[in-house]
Structures are given as C-alpha cells and as structure tokens.
Structure 1
Amino acid sequence: MIAHSEGTPCPGGSAARRPAGIRPPELVLMVGLAGAGKSTRAAELAAALPAVRLSPDEWMRPLFCDPDPDGQRPVLEGRLIATAVEILRAGASVILDFGLWRRQERIALSWLAARVGAVARTEYLPIGREAQAERIAERHRRSPEREWPVTQAELDEWREMLDEPGPAEAAGDFGARAAEDWSEWIAEKWPTAFAET
C-alpha cells in the first residue's frame, strides 16, 4: 500500500481532502474460488462496515441469461469497478465480490483505490478441493435455474489459477508494485473501467 498523509492524493490521483481523524473509505477485495463462501461473507461485511457490495454474478444472469456470454464479464466488471470508484470518491466503502484470483488484479485495484483516497485490503476465503466440489454440486441441486453446472476439471483448472493472498494483503500491504501506474493494465483487463458514464 502507498503511504500518504491524510488527504494527500497518490501521484496523479484525485483524492479529496479528509479532515484529520476521519477514516478513509475502504475497498475490500473478496478473494476465493467458487463455492468458498465469498458472497455470504461479503454480505456480512457489507452490513458490518457498512459498505456497498458489488458482485458481477448477480448481474450476469439477469442481463444476459448466462454467467459469461461471449466474454462480456470483463465489460460488466469494468462498469462495476467504475461504480466502485465513484462510491469511494463519495466517501463510502465498497466490497468487490469478484473472486480476484490473480495477484495483479488485486494490486491494480489497490492502486486505483489509493488514487481516490481509499485504502484496499483482501478478504480471503480458502476452501479444500473436496469441500468445494460438494458445495458447487449442492448449490446446483438447490437452484438449477440460478447456478450453472461445473465439472471437476473446471474446478481443478481454476484452483491452479489462484494466487493465494498472504497476511500482508489482508492488512492492506500490496507491495512495492502498488506504487506503479496500473491504468493501462486496468484498461486492458476491464475495458470499461475508465469509460465515460
């Protein structure tokens, strides 16, 4: 995390001045595999902080009748990120219930939060292979109209893609790379994150 005095924006940022003693808004990055319980935990955190929770899973099926139609998920995630930035600018906290398996995603989002005077941290929910498979199968049995079937091969492939966060990320320390400019990376990963509203 980039250390700055209260109300001082990061280089190139647009953080608003905040009176001394007022805590900055928080961007909580939910990290975990499918079935780990991220959405349940995110809802608990949203009530406790309080914070606005944004989850692409709750938008994909109502908008497109599909969990990932023709690669539209990054487009939707980008719009949710742009919305999160506006909420953070307004002084409220946000929970991104995305999964965020890759470390680069989390570093980039921590950089973006710092640019608007917010702090970021991860909330990681690990889950074992067998427990994950059981939860995913049970969810599909309970709500086949909302939960799509997932094969064990897909679950194993996703498990390989996860960069597990350590205690530093949970405490808000995303390392030296969080000081770099991530705007181009974000624009490529989430093409609508900086789009005009």
Structure 2
Amino acid sequence: MTELFLTVGLPGAGKTTRARQLAEERSALRLTPDEWMIPLFGDPQPDGKRDVLEGRLLSLALEALRIGTNVILDFGCWSRDERSAIRWLVKSAGASCHLVYVPVDHETQRARIAHRQSTTPDQTFLMSDADLLHWRALFEEPDASELDGHEIDGPPPGWSGWLEWATARWPSFP
C-alpha cells in the first residue's frame, strides 16, 4: 500500500529536514510549497497564491499515490480540519496517511528562523517575533488519536463532506 507522510508543525520546526529524510528512506516524492513559491511567483508569500499551489500539489500527491508512488506533503497543516481532510482524501485514494508532527519550542524556532534568514534569505521570507507568537496561537497541535491514525472526524458544520471542504480550502483542488 502506498503511503503519504504529512509533516505538521510551525515554521522553523524542522519539517523540511524531516521531509527530506523521509523522502530518501521511503523513496517518496517530496512536495514542499516553500520551494515552489519564489520560483513561480517571485515572492515567498504572494497573497492567495499559497492556497492555490497547495491545491495543485495535493492533487499531484493523490495522483502519485494512485500510481503507486509514496509521497511526503511538507505543508505544515496547522489546523485539525486540514489534516482530517487530507487524511480522508488519502484514504479515499486507497493509501495510508501518517502524520509526522515536528514540535518546536519558541526559542529554538526563533534561532532557526534567524539562521535561515541570514544564510538563505532568497529562499525564505521575513518572520517577526510577533508573527511567530501569533502563528503559535493559531496552531492546533495534533492529539494522540490523530497521530495514531485513528478515526477521522467528520467535516465542520455546514459541509457535506471532506471533498467539498477541501475544494473550498484549496481553490485549485482537485
């Protein structure tokens, strides 16, 4: 059975480093939106473009799973709803989904981001301490049932299914 590994965590946690390791270990296609943003749009955070890119990468991931290729989605996925939708889509494609949570404390996160910005400024974007604190407050840490791959919650109220929710969340999906 093909596998999708979904990295979960905040900027500077080490998700991409872990995704690279997994891609090598599992002979998997690694899809990291951060590596596409600047080459495609000339900007690491152009308004609305990340959601469009993630939708296309998600479609590509599902296609790769269907043809027997393991995939690493290096998205971050801060919300339980995003993770549940992706888990449901992967299961619907006949593959298994594994969340790879990479936690990081605030001080380590700040140090890693400062290092990234000083050594590879053309591959990242500026993140202030206020941004990091705001994002940390928005982040929904996965619980044990998510990490163990147990039951997938139903979609939020008002949504008939995860496919409809995903299509609204990622405007270029499917």
Which TM-score applies when normalising by structure 1? 0.82
Deviation at 1:174, TM superposition (A): 4.3
Aligned 8 A contact 2:84 2:153 in 1: no
**Offset from partner CA, 1:43-73 (integer Å, 9 cap, x none):** 0001111211101101000011111212111
The structure with the greater share of residues assigned to helix is 2
**Divergent runs of 4+, >3 A:** none
User: Does the Cα contact within 8 Å between 2:33 and 2:53 map onto a contact in 1?
Assistant: yes
Which residue among 138, 144, 147 is the counterpart of 2:121? 144
Partners of 2:121 and 2:164 in 1: how far apart?
A: 38
Match of 2:162 in 1: 182
Please point out which of 109, 130, 155 is paired with 1:153.
Answer: 130
RMSD: 1.4
1:64 aligns with 2:41: yes
Identity level (%): 47
AA in 2 matched with 1:131: T
Q: Is the 8 A contact 2:154 2:162 kept in 1?
A: no
Rg (Cα) greater in structure: 1
Query: Quick one: distance in 2 between partners of 1:174 and 1:141?
Result: 42
Equivalent residue for 1:21? Answer: none
How far is the alpha carbon of 1:177 from its aligned partner? Answer: 2.5
2:12 to 29, 35, 48: 35
Letter in 1 for 2:41: F
SS in 2 for 1:145: helix
Structure 2 counterpart SS, 1:186: helix
> How far off its partner does 1:166 sit?
2.3
**Structure 2 contact 87–152 (Cα < 8 Å) conserved:** no
Distance 1:160 1:151 in 2: 14
Compared with structure 1, are the counterparts of its residues 176 and 74 closer, same or farther at alpha carbon in structure 2 (3 Å cutoff)? Answer: closer
Offset from partner CA, 1:4-39 (integer Å, 9 cap, x none) = xxxxxxxxxxxxxxxxxxxx1111110010000000
AA partner of residue 96 (structure 2) = V
Q: What amino acid maps onto 2:141 in structure 1?
A: E
Report what 1:73 is aligned to: 50
Mapped contact 2:52–2:171 kept (Cα < 8 A) = yes
Q: For 1:130-175, what per-residue CA distance to the aligned partner results, in whole angstroms no more than 9, with x for missing partners?
A: 1111110111011122222210000001101111112332222243
1:192 corresponds to 2:172? yes
> What secondary structure is seen at the aligned counterpart in 2 of 1:73?
helix
Structure 2 gap ranges (5+) = none
**How far has the Cα of 1:176 moved from its partner?**
4.0
Matches of 1:174 and 1:107 in 2, distance apart?
9
Preserved CA contact (<8 Å) 2:12 2:109: yes
TM-score (norm 2): 0.93
